[in-house]
Structure 1
Amino acid sequence: MKRTTIALALSFVLLASASCNQSREQEVSMPEMDYAVSENKDSNVAPKSIRLKGSDAAAAASVAPAEKTIERSQTVNKPKIIREGNISIESKDVKTSKKNLDQQLKQMGGYYERESANTDNNNRISYDLVLRIPSDKLDGFLTSVENGKDKITSKSLTSEDVSLQYYDLESRLKSKRAYLERYQAMVSSAKNVKELLEIQEQIRQLQEEIDSSESVMRNLSGQVNYSSLRINLFDYQSNLPMGSNSFWSRVKSSFGFGGDLIANIVLGIIGLWPIFLIGSVVVFLILRWRNRRKVRFQSRNQSL
């Protein structure tokens, strides 16, 4: 009986001791902890650590599981593809072709990012255009151009998958915003001026990183949503070896050259008018002098 009593007493003591140790471990597991926003790839400045206590540290640490959830959800996100292209268009009526491009671009909801026109020595116009077209309508626009009257002399399209970069940036941006909200909430609970200044510095750095990330995301979204297409639109006579009527183009050019030559000769003759004027005066004076000399000679012969 005594042994049984002693055994029960020892068991009770061991259970009490284990409970005390467990409670101490729980107390130790919630000490002051250093918490800092981890330095991201797109950040050049690593923020300083701030010592958080108790519930603040636990609340800040709860942000990490949310980031993992975001990473796991990336697999079902829509791919982000940047598409770009270059085409050269040979046209027999460049001005009409340009108007058709304007109309098609307007129907597709696109716009000109750059538009320039050049005129060569033969008064032939060519256009260098950079179009921004909604990505889901790029193929339709190209099909419309290819089915037109003009000739496509060259064409190239490229695609770049930026899904990983985009969603990684989006995930980091969400994480930074969560950290920013937490730091803003900590301002009112700062214990002294030093801690307040450290929190405000963290807020400043996070805000700068968020602004930078948002700028990059806007740029990526713009490139994904609107594809870039560069078009070189030129007269078919500017590319005779590839033109559809090169012989007749040369005949037409020859007639044009002959007309230009005649015009240049006429203009050259007109440009020599001072010489013709002086020559006319000289000839007039010479003829007048000869006439007077002839009259004198005749008068002298008659007197003899």
Structure 2
Amino acid sequence: MKVSIKLPNKSALVMSALLGGVIFTSCASVPQQSKQQLSQSTGGRALNNQAAPADSAGSVALKSEAAPVPQSRPQLIKKAAMTVIVNSVDQSINAVSKIINNKQGDLIGLNERQPTQDNARHTASIMLRVPQNQLDSTLDELAKLGTVENRNITAEDVSNQLVDFQARLTNLRRTEANLQKIMDRSGSVRDVLSVAKELSNVRQSIEQINAQLKNLQNQVAYSSITLNLEAAVSSSSPQRGLGLQIQETWNNSSHSVGEFTVGLLKLAIWLMVYSPYFLILAAAIYGLNRWRRNSQPVRPIPPVENYDG
């Protein structure tokens, strides 16, 4: 059996050889400089990638060593007290109201005492509340009202209490969520009632702790100030008129007569109530005296002699 194989045409072979040479020469015509730049860029990137972890690790280590441990700022409840001697208490009270409004604070209480006796001072006690960051500036403004007699500031650190309340609140809320999941499941009426009771107790504890936490946070955010104002000059009471004095004397005397009359009436009532006892006591005394007289022996009376003159 003869197998015939067709050989390719010479012209096709020549054309394929020419196309291969063109392709080869075009690939070989790439500049060597670009290859070198490419190799340098890739090598530089590799070196940078290799050096970067070491540098980053070193910088992280240095930062971790140099960075200080962050400390939370202490939560302080600040209270201040100040006594200021002023020329006019009334004007100072108005000035205090303006200062508090400018500092975005609140006036909690005011106790003003007018002089009722001679040589008595006009005084006033004011309770204030201002933001904690405005405490020092507020005290400086209040000190300008007059002469500061005394000034003190106390601070109480409640950081541990706040952290404790927050931790307890977090645990209780987690417990509330777990109990709520149990409530969502189907079960017997007894189990549901038991879980519902426990859930109610947990929610009550959450409300109490949350209220205490907010109270502490409010005391930390706002500082209280007790301001005592005293007049520099004692005020003397004016002399009252004659008519006013006579009227006051008449009122006092009539009031005294009324009290004396009421006292006599009360005494008469007491005597009437206890009169049986007084009668029994008087009868007993009378009977005792009579018995004593009767029990004494009768002395004979000596005869009278008649003398004839």
Q: How does 1:50-89 map to 2 (within 5 A)?
A: 76-89=71-84
- Give the Cα separation in 2 of the matches to 1:89 and 1:218: 33
Quickly say closer, same or farther: Cα 1:89–1:191, change in 2 above 3 A.
same
Deviation of 1:134 after TM superposition, in Å, equals: 0.6
Name the structure 2 match of 1:176.
172
- Give the Cα separation in 2 of the matches to 1:218 and 1:102: 27
Deviation of 1:271 after TM superposition, in Å, equals: 4.2
Name the structure 2 match of 1:223.
219
From 87, 92, 96, the equivalent of 1:92 is 87
Matched, 1:189 2:189: no
Supply the AA of the counterpart residue of 1:93.
S
Supply the AA of the counterpart residue of 1:103.
K
From 154, 158, 162, the equivalent of 2:158 is 162
Supply the AA of the counterpart residue of 2:115.
D
Quickly say closer, same or farther: Cα 1:181–1:76, change in 2 above 3 A.
farther
Gaps of 5+ in 2: 1-69, 248-309
Runs of at least 4 residues off by over 6 Å = none
Name the structure 1 match of 2:231.
235
- Give the Cα separation in 2 of the matches to 1:270 and 1:108: 49
Matched, 1:142 2:117: no
Name the structure 1 match of 2:242.
267
Decide which moves more: 178-187 or 123-132: 123-132
Which has more radius of gyration? 2
Deviation of 1:209 after TM superposition, in Å, equals: 0.4
Supply the AA of the counterpart residue of 2:124.
Y
From 123, 127, 130, the equivalent of 1:126 is 123
- Give the Cα separation in 2 of the matches to 1:87 and 1:209: 39
- Give the Cα separation in 1 of the matches to 2:244 and 2:200: 79
- Give the Cα separation in 2 of the matches to 1:127 and 1:81: 28
Quickly say closer, same or farther: Cα 1:194–1:81, change in 2 above 3 A.
same
Show CA shifts across 1:173-228 (max 9, x none). 01111110111121121422222122112101101100110111121111111111
Q: How many residues align?
A: 176
Decide whether the 8 Å contact of 2:84 with 2:145 is kept in 1. Answer: no
Alignment RMSD (CA, Å)? 2.4
Gaps of 5+ in 1: 1-74, 239-252, 273-304
SS state of the match for residue 90, structure 2? helix
Supply the AA of the counterpart residue of 1:82.
I
- Give the Cα separation in 1 of the matches to 2:100 and 2:213: 26
- Give the Cα separation in 2 of the matches to 1:192 and 1:102: 63
Supply the AA of the counterpart residue of 1:128.
S
Alignment identity in percent? 22
Supply the AA of the counterpart residue of 2:162.
Y
Deviation of 1:269 after TM superposition, in Å, equals: 11
Show CA shifts across 1:57-108 (max 9, x none). xxxxxxxxxxxxxxxxxx8544210000111110012222111111111110
Quickly say closer, same or farther: Cα 1:171–1:76, change in 2 above 3 A.
farther
Name the structure 2 match of 1:54.
none
Deviation of 1:156 after TM superposition, in Å, equals: 1.4
Q: TM-score, normalised by structure 1?
A: 0.53
